[in-house]
Amino acid sequence: MSRTAERRERILRAAVEQGLLDPDAAVLAGFVDLDGIAESVAALHGAFPDGLPVRHAFAAKANCLIPVLEELRLNGMGCEVASAGELAQALAAGFDPADIVYDAPAKTRAELEQALRLGVAVNADSFQELARIDRLLAARPSASRLGIRVNPQVGGGAIAAMSTATSTSKFGIPLEDPGNRQRLLDAYRDRPWLTWVHTHVGSQGCPLDLIAQGIARAVEFAEEINETLGHRQVVGIDIGGGLPVNFRSDEVTPGFDAYADRLRAHAPALFTGAYEIVTEFGRSLLAENGFTAAYVEYTKTVGGRPVAITHAGAQVATRTVFAPDAWPLRVDAHDARGAAKHGRTTRQDVAGPCCFAGDLLARNRPLPLLDVGDIVVLPDTGAYYFSTPFLYNSLPEPAVHGVRVGADGRVTFRLIRPAQTVEQLLAAAGTRPLAAAAPALPVP
């Protein structure tokens, strides 16, 4: 058992002992390792040379829970947001507007107006959005750092949905489409306040060299702008995020140092100090610093194969359930006290509570035979899983707990998000029946 697995087991045992997991009252919960977050952030900062002007912004979509965002801020991170909701969460977590970057392909006028008024950095995703910013700046100047997202069109990785620099990606202005390069150069010439270039190649499934090649094209374009204009107008490059996560084991690979090495090979100009840099990592900072735990409610045998029905399914592991080949998760078996189960394995399905046949966390997976009252643990789910639940079957959002383990082994928890109550679920769904809201129509 790895040290990371031993740490998870220690946390799980403490959660059971303290009643944070209970077969009657708390059948599902998420856990965020706050010490692990600090270590991951330190590794990211350490991958770039001291003195290089870098601002690391956490991609809020990866885990938008306000106390988690606050923890990242306290560890020296900025924040990247992609909606009005994420902007509100970042502000609530205490981020200074100047440390927030707003990226989204469908920003409304009101959202742009708010960002520009606050001084939030904005990357325009299209020529039409750029024209909208023109009109807003004509009415009121802004202190925001402003740039354009370009699509370097270097191709995709193994997961099409995570590849944002393909020839037909919906994101950014395609750099190689006919006429676009000149149109972009004109846009920078006509707008002295356009001082940044932004790109993001993709994330899970994208090789590091592909990511670095896309960033290199953005850097080359920034230098082309400055050379064409005859002065240094572009002063910063937002290189996005995208470091893939290892979902196969507890080994952290690739690391941020490997990412920086590929950048040095493909885009050495980034390391000269000529440009300010912004990064936007999300999954790679949080995924391996969180896990989900759920009780086994029932077991059965179907067609000769054992099936464990658990309380974790599509509502907290949406990507894994709907795209299991692209997003496989490990499943660890534990007994009712939280101790890891060992010994002979049996191939079995691990299913969730949702009312459709495909709600499976694992198919034909060799595990110690699961029994009623056991606990399954899903490692590597600190990003995109329990933090953004899928409200299928009106299943309530689970509690999420932050956790620290002291040097003496003592485990302490901090409630990050309470479990959703039935009353809160009803309020979100609308509690007043339509029949009570309007008088009945007369019968002709």
Residues 102-128: pLDDT tens digits?
999 999 999 999 999 999 999 999 999
pLDDT computed for residue 432 by the predictor: 72
Phi, psi (degrees; rounded to nearest 5) at 363: -115, 130
Helices and strands of the chain, counted as H and E runs: 13, 18
CATH fold of 35-285: TIM Barrel (3.20.20)
Taking residues 126-147, report their average pLDDT.
98
Taking residues 252-280, report their average pLDDT.
97
Residues 288-323: pLDDT tens digits?
999 999 999 999 999 999 999 999 999 999 999 999
CATH number of 3-32+287-424: 2.40.37.10
pLDDT computed for residue 290 by the predictor: 98
Residues 187-224: pLDDT tens digits?
999 999 999 999 999 999 999 999 999 999 999 999 99
DSSP conformation class of 386 = T
User: Do 3-32+287-424 and 35-285 share a fold?
Assistant: no
DSSP conformation class of 177 = S
pLDDT band at 279 (very low <50, low <70, confident <90, very high): very high
pLDDT computed for residue 438 by the predictor: 55
In this structure, are residues 420 and 426 in contact, taking their beta carbons and an 8 Å threshold? Answer: no
Burial of 95 (0-12, 13-18, 19+ CB in 10 A): buried
In this structure, are residues 387 and 30 in contact, taking their beta carbons and an 8 Å threshold? Answer: yes
Calpha distance 65→400 (Å, rounded): 9
Q: Which of 80, 79, 58, 172 is nearest to 126 (CA)?
A: 172
Taking residues 64-87, report their average pLDDT.
98
Cis peptide bond N-terminal to 254, omega within 30: yes
pLDDT computed for residue 87 by the predictor: 98
pLDDT band at 441 (very low <50, low <70, confident <90, very high): low
Give the three-class secondary structure for 364.
strand
Give the three-class secondary structure for 86.
helix
Residues 351-373: pLDDT tens digits?
999 999 999 999 999 999 999 99
In this structure, are residues 78 and 100 in contact, taking their beta carbons and an 8 Å threshold? Answer: yes
pLDDT computed for residue 257 by the predictor: 98
List the domain boundaries for the chain.
3-32+287-424, 35-285
Q: Provide the whole-model pTM.
A: 0.95
In this structure, are residues 124 and 149 in contact, taking their beta carbons and an 8 Å threshold? Answer: yes
In this structure, are residues 294 and 342 in contact, taking their beta carbons and an 8 Å threshold? Answer: no
pLDDT computed for residue 436 by the predictor: 55
